[in-house]
Structure 1
C-alpha cells in the first residue's frame, strides 16, 4: 500500500481529494494532510510517506522549497505536484528538482483521475524496483572496516567535473550530486598519508578549499551499507554539521555512525524568544560576557539555520532603522551562513562596527547599553513628547552625563537627533502616503501643525506640501 500525504493550503481541495478519489483502487492510502510546507515536514518526521502530493503556491513555505527539502531529506518519497493553473515554469522547476509527475486540478474535476493515478502508481512501482535492485546490489558491498572518512561540502555545491575525476582517481567514492564524498578504508587497506599527529588521513587532491569542505572521520562503520552511510551523512550535513564547525575544531571532526543518527529536538518557542530578546537588548554589542552568553545560547539550542538567519535578519533591520541617521551604510547580512563559525564571526564583526560608532570616549558596557536604549526609545516613541531629562532618568544616567555620552556615541545631541529622526520619518510619510499633513505632524511628535511646517522647512528648505509635490513630479 502506497502511503500518501496531501499538502495544499485550500482545505476544500484537501478534503475533496481525500473523500472523492478512489485511492484503494490504485493501492494507495491517504495517511495525512497539511496546509503548508512546514507542517508537511513535521508530519514526515514522524510518519511513513511514500507519495507526497503538494501544491506549489502556498504560504509559509512554497511547494518548490518543500520539494527541494524532501528530495534531500527523504529521497525515497515520491513527489507529485498539484497545480490549479498549468504554470509550466514552476512545473518544470518542480520536475527538475525530482517530482515524478504533475496533476492539474481540473483533470481531477473532469474525472480524468484514472489516467493520472495509473501513471503515478506505475512510476512509483518503477522507482521501487530500482531501489530493490540497488538493495540487492549493495548486499554484497558493506563496509568491512570500522573506520571510514567523508568529505562534506559546507555550501552544498557539487565538485567540478575535473576535481571530481581527481578524487575518483585517488580512490574516493562520490554519491548523489557530488557534494558528499566517502573514503572506505577497507577498500584501500592501510596505505594512508599521515599528518603530524600520526592521524591516518586519506589523500586529497590539490584545489580543495578547506573553508568550503569539512573532513569527517567515521567510527563503527563496519557492516554499514555505503548507501545508508551516505544518507546518514546527508542528514548530518543538513543539521548538526553547521554547529560542529565552530572554529574550534581541528581539520578533522570525529563522529561515530550513531552520532550521525542522533536527533536534536526542535527548540521550544519560548527558548527561541529568549534568544531574540537577548539580541534586541543590545547589551551583547558592548559587553563581552553577554556576547559569549548569547553565542553559547544559540549554539546550545542548535536553531535551524533558516531560523537563525531570520533572527539575525530581524535584528539587522531593527538596527538599521535605529541608526539610519548616524551610520554611513546599512548593515548587510549574507544570504546564508555556511557554518556556526561564519555566524559567530559575523556577529564579532558587527560588534567591531558598532564600537566604531561609539567615538573616542572610553565608556563601560552599561553606559553604551543605556545610550542604545535611549536611541530605541526615540524610534519607538516618536509620536510622544520626549525630553532629554526624562529619557536620561529612564536609562539611569544623570542629565549632563547622558547628554555628553549621547553626543559622543551618536554624533548628535539628543535634541538634534530627535529632530532629525522625526523629520526623516515625516519625509517617508510625505513620499509614501497621502495622509494629511496634520496627521503626519502628530505621528512625528508635533502637536502644532504650523510649528511642524516651520521646523520641516528649516531642515529641508521646503514646506511639507512643497516637498510632497516635488516628490510626486519625480
Structure 2
C-alpha cells in the first residue's frame, strides 16, 4: 500500500477529496493531512509517506516551495498537484519542479476518480521501480557512485533551479543547495561520466549551468557531509580560474584539498590599488599572471572592483561610467569576466588620461596623491606635503591636481575630511570635538560649521539620522 499525505488550506476541500475516493481499493492509504506546506514538512519529519497530494496556493508555504523542499529532503516521495481549472499555468511549473501528475479538483467526480488515481499509482510504482533498479545496479557495481558528486554552478546570478529536480541523475537522490548562493549538489545513485552528464543536461541547460563532477569521495558520508566537504575545498576557486567550456569539468577532491593547503587566502595585493596596471601594459600583464598564481577569490574581486568603482567616481570615471561598472560587476562569474571588467576600467582610465593631456607618469603621481590624501586625511597635511610625497613641484602639482579633481587641493582635502567624519559619526560613539580632531579639524566649532555646509546637518543631527 502507498502511504499518502493530502495538503490543502481549505479544510472542506481537503476532506471532500479524501472522502470521494475508495483509496484502499486502489492501493493507497491516506495517513495524514495538512493545511499548508510548512505543516506538511513538519508532519513528514516524523511519519514516512510515499505520495504527496498538494494544492498550489496556500499560506506560509505554497505548493511550489513544498514540492521543491520535498525533492530535497524526501527524494523518494512522489508529488501530485491539486489544482483548479484556472491554474493550468501553475501545473507546468509544478511538473517542472518534479511533480509526476496533477488532478483538477473541480472536475474530479466519483465516476472518473478511479481512472485518475489508478494512473497516478502506476506512475508512482514505475518511479519507485526505477529508483530500486538504480540502487541495485549501483550495489552490484560495488557502489561506485559513493565516490562521486555533481555540483551545479549557475552561469548567471538568480538562475531557476527547478529543472535540475527533473534530471534523471537526480532521481532517487537528494539535491541540496549549498551555502554558496545558487549552487546545488547531488550524489547520484549510479556513476556517471562527464559525457553522460553533458548528454543529460543538453545544450540548453549547459548554457545555464556549469556542471562539475567531484571524484574521490568514497566514504565521505551523507550528501550534507559531502556538501560541507565541497564548500570547505577550493572547488569554486578552481572553477573560477578554469578555462571556459560548456561541458562538465572533473575535479578530484584530493586535488582540491592540496590546492587548499597551498592557497594564500585569496586576497587582493595592496599594490593593485595604485592602478599602475591600468596605465602600463607590462604592469597589466604582470597583474593578470599574479592573479592566476594567487587564485584571488571571487568575493575578493567583487570587493576590490566595487571599491575602485566608488573611490574613483568623478575623478577617473564619470558618474555614469562608475554606475555602469558597478552594475556590470553583478554579471561577473568567472575570472575571464573579471579580466574583461578590469580591461574596460583600464580603458576608461587611459581615456581620462588622454582627455586631461597627461603622461602616464603624471597620472600615476596624481593617483598616488589621492590615495595618500585619503589615507592621511585626518593628519595635518598640506599641498606641499602631498606634492613632495609624489615627487612633484608644488606649483605643477597644484595645476595638474585641479585638472583631475575639478576642484582645488584644499576643497578636495576638506571633502575627504568630511567623508572621514561621517564614517566616524556612524561607526563610533566618540564626542563631536574628538571626531573633529580625528578628521583633521583643529577647531570643533569650525568643524561643525563646515560639516553643516557640506552635509546639510550638524554632526550630532547627522549621527542621530544614521543610527
**What TM-score do you get using the length of structure 1 for normalisation?**
0.48
**Higher relative helix content:** 2
Question: Larger C-alpha radius of gyration, 1 or 2?
Answer: 2
Q: TM-score, normalised by structure 2?
A: 0.48
